[in-house]
Amino acid sequence: MNLISRTKAFNHSISSMARSKAMRQGDIELFAEEVCKEAAEIVQIERVSVWLFENANQRLYLKKLYQLSDRLYSSGAILTTTEYPNYFKALEEERSIVANDAHSHTATSEFSEGYLTPLRIFSMLDCPIRDGVNVIGVICLEHVGEPRSWTEEEVNFASVTSDLLSLAVAVDLRNRAELKLQEKSNKLAESNITLQTVLGRIEEEKKNIREDVALNIEKNIQPLIEKLKGSPNVDLNLLGQLESGLSNISSNFYKKLVKVQYNLTPTERKVCQLIKTGYLGKEIAAMLSLSYSTIETHKKNIRRKLELTNKSVNLKTYLEEIDQI
């Protein structure tokens, strides 16, 4: 293959990898497979591998290795910074490591005895994968057998391929971040649903308690009050206040008077409760230790605040209707 044809082949290969669905989706596993196989076939190189940093950049993990002669993939090997300090230093500083003789090159000679010789690797072409500034991995092209002088086109091809891997890693990181954000959002939504359920149960329990109290007053206490009314030497005023107070406990009416924006005073709310219970002005005056004229003034103020002034509406009936809201 002549130089022009080879350059076209490299460009076509890069264009094909750039259109990869796996790259666009951030599928590092699949894209690493595609890149390794494509590079091995287009450069005609025995071994192509993709390594990614892990453990705070203290070691490289073999994500994917493709061997051309066997057409097999493998993964899982580990390279540590303590074993190969010169190589890791070169990755940080160089755009590419072009080692025609990997046994003697400063950056790769550390691999000679334990890695290059057993695998018969003579030449290496490695390009760092970066996320802008930091090195996050490396793509390695390894020639087995005789020495090989890497061409400028091959070096450029490997460099561009490392850039494509950088993009895939960036998409993968974005996808992971979005997934975590979605998981947090889902947990928050679940927590909110749980909270609403708990609040609903609390309100239901409160309602049941109020109903139980009201039932107890009606069945057990109210009959005693009725008996006391017919007994001699009983202070009917105090008895009336007791009955009104119990009515407050067993009914939401008093609470509604407080919540509704009528701006009633505490005394006016007491007068409302007694009116609704059925007591007349003089009886209410005696119960609250106030004059009859004061009670009548309170009643006028109540009608004004309830917007009943000059209306032919019975106050007791109106208050009973409020209790039904």
Residue-wise pLDDT tens digits, 137-191: 999 999 999 899 999 999 999 999 999 999 998 888 888 888 888 878 778 777 7
Specify the 3-state DSSP secondary structure of 123: strand
* Domain coverage including residue 86: 3-181
Contact 119, 112 (CB under 8 A): no
Distance CA 162, CA 13 (A): 13
pLDDT in tens, 215-270: 565 556 656 666 666 666 666 666 666 666 666 555 555 555 555 557 888 888 88
Residue 220 lies in a domain: no
Same domain, 241 and 110: no
> Token digits for 52?
């990614």
* Predicted pLDDT of residue 33: 95
CB atoms within 10 A of CB 241: 17
Q: Which of 181, 214, 246 is the last residue of a domain?
A: 181
* Predicted pLDDT of residue 2: 64
Residue 96 lies in a domain: yes
For the chain, helix (H) and strand (E) counts, in that order, are: 13, 7
Same domain, 159 and 283: no
Tell me the Cα Rg of the chain: 44
pLDDT in tens, 175-185: 888 888 887 87
Residue 208 lies in a domain: no
Torsions phi, psi of 31, nearest 5? -65, -35
Same domain, 63 and 148: yes
* Predicted pLDDT of residue 235: 66
Residue 136 lies in a domain: yes
Same domain, 27 and 171: yes
Same domain, 155 and 62: yes
Distance CA 122, CA 102 (A): 6
* Average pLDDT for the chain: 84
316-321 CB contacts, 8 Å cutoff, 24+ apart: 316/275, 316/276, 316/278, 319/253, 319/272, 319/275, 319/276, 320/276
Helix ranges (H only) for 28-151 are 28-43, 85-93, 117-119
Number of domains in the chain: 2
| Angle subtended by helix axes 152-216 and 236-250, to nearest 10 | 150
Q: What is the separation, in whole angstroms, between the first and last Cα of the chain? A: 92
Same domain, 280 and 144: no
Residue 209 lies in a domain: no
Q: Which of 138, 163, 181 is the last residue of a domain?
A: 181
CATH number of 126's domain: 3.30.450.40
pLDDT in tens, 27-58: 999 999 999 999 999 999 999 999 999 877 88
Residue 248 lies in a domain: yes
CATH number of 241's domain: 1.10.10
Residue 99 lies in a domain: yes
